[in-house]
Amino acid sequence: MRGRARGLAGRTAMVTGGAQGIGAAVVERLCSEGCRVLVYDKSAEHGRAAVEKWTAEGYEVRLAVGDVMDTAAVKAAFADLPDGWDRPTLLVNLAAGFVFKGLEATAEDWHAALDPTIVGLSLVTREFVAGLPERDADAAVVNMASISAHISQSGYLTYNTGKSAVLGFTRCTAEELAPRGIRVNSVSPGTVWNANNERFHREALGLDRATAEAAPEHGGKFLLKRFADPEEIAAPIAFLLSGEASFITGTDLPVDGGYLAV
């Protein structure tokens, strides 16, 4: 390990889109391992509620409200840290655009899909890297891709294109930043049972979790015959950020219950 710490205790991390769902699970996981976490989220309502909860639990968490496309807000988030906090050396890019359209997608649809998913990701990563040492930064980035980046899906052109771009961005930045001691990886989750997916299955399909997981066209698509919990995505993200993954960069880790193996 060449003197590098194995765990995450004492590190400062930034998590975009960290107020809900997978993002909130990532924040909780990093906090539980001793990280200070800067949550960057465009929802002041959800962000404040989440940070109040984590603070009450004794975690060191700070909220910065802003859009990943807002360069000034991104710069301010990194600059306005609490006294005693080091600048983040860990970054998790979760903010994304969720637009599911095919060739009928308009220019506005494409901007809504790609601007936060890949342009905003690049702006946040650029500002994160700008504050790191030129050499031996001992820093790590994890980007959120998806199984949708690896396959074709009818009606998902906008979403799958954005997530495919995340894979390319990850590989290219890993090569560019390796000389500075900055590792860059991504994870590709399968279906995660979070609030949005629960709402979709209940309202659009009339299915609760057990029924959805038992259906061949839903949970049955995965080798494990179920969906993931957000915490099951947060765990491999924490691993990729940690010193345990010190020789891993430029790669994507599917966390998909065996979906891509079939």
How many Å apart are CA 65 and CA 56, to the nearest integer?
Answer: 20
Which residues make beta-bridge pairs with 144? Answer: 187
pLDDT at 4: 58
- The pTM assigned to this predicted structure is 0.95
User: Each residue of 169-222: pLDDT tens digit?
Assistant: 999 999 999 999 999 999 999 999 988 889 989 998 999 999 999 999 999 999
The full set of domain ranges for the chain reads: 12-192+228-251
Distances (CA, A) of 223 to 123, 226, 241, 260: 37, 8, 27, 9
pLDDT the model gives residue 5: 64
Task: For residue range 84-133, list pLDDT tens digits in order.
Answer: 999 999 999 999 999 999 999 999 999 999 999 999 999 999 999 999 99
Q: Which CATH class is domain 12-192+228-251?
A: alpha beta
Integer Cα distance of 83 and 217 in angstroms = 51
2, pLDDT greater than 60: no
- Residue 139 tokens read as 């820093």
